[in-house]
């Protein structure tokens, strides 16, 4: 690359320093949210940097930036509509199921999972791995033993250690 033609990094730096403030202000008017405006502005520059060809021959940087930002705003709006629709469907489904957990039940489950995670964090790596492989990935003890390079009997000891640690950490399990 010749010394006359600025490098890609210089072009990006120049585009950013000259137009970032303008773009954030323009987006703030559109969104009425300074944080959202900053996010979309950042995404706009990331998209332009990712398509390096856009930097070469850009005659109207503000027009290009605003067009890119508008497209990102449309993508964002579409994604929000999908998310709202999905959450509404989930809510309808949860209400229609007779066994849907109540918020209190969800809270108790999350607390129990946190207690189990704390209990597992206090174990050796092999005991923790044995527990996760056997109970979460549903691998038989022999497969866990082969993966951890220990005997099946040792896997059984690891599982007992993990279960005792979980029982000690979770009062609900002791009952």
pLDDT higher than 50, residue 172: yes
What region does 151 belong to: left with phi over 0, alpha with psi -120 to 50, or beta?
beta
pLDDT digits (tens, 9 = 90+) for 91-106: 887 777 777 677 887 7
On whether the CB atoms of residues 21 and 15 are closer than 8 A, the answer is no
Kind and range of the H or E element at 71? helix 61-96
How many helices (H) and strands (E) the chain has is answered by 8, 0
pLDDT of residue 102: 76
pLDDT higher than 70, residue 121: yes
**Which residues 6+ apart lie within 8 Å of 14 measured at CB?**
6
On whether the CB atoms of residues 65 and 48 are closer than 8 A, the answer is yes
- Can you give the pTM of this predicted structure? 0.49
**Which residues 6+ apart lie within 8 Å of 35 measured at CB?**
none
């Amino acid at each position: 690359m010749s010394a006359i033609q600025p490098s890609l990094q210089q072009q990006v730096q120049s585009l950013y320093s000259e137009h970032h403030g303008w773009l954030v202000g323009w987006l703030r008017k559109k969104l009425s949210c300074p944080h959202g405006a900053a996010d979309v502005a950042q995404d706009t520059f990331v998209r332009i940097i990712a398509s390096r060809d856009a930097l070469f021959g850009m005659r109207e940087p503000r027009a290009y930036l605003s067009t890119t930002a508008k497209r990102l705003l449309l993508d964002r709006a579409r994604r929000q509509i999908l998310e709202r629709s999905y959450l509404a469907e989930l809510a309808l489904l949860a209400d229609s199921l007779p066994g849907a957990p109540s918020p209190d039940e969800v809270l108790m489950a999350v607390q129990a999972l946190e207690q189990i995670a704390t209990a597992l964090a206090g174990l050796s790596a092999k005991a923790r791995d044995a527990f996760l492989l056997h109970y979460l990935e549903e691998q038989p003890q022999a497969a866990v033993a082969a993966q951890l390079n220990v005997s099946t009997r040792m896997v059984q000891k690891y599982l007992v250690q993990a279960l005792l640690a979980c029982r000690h950490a979770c009062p609900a399990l002791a009952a």
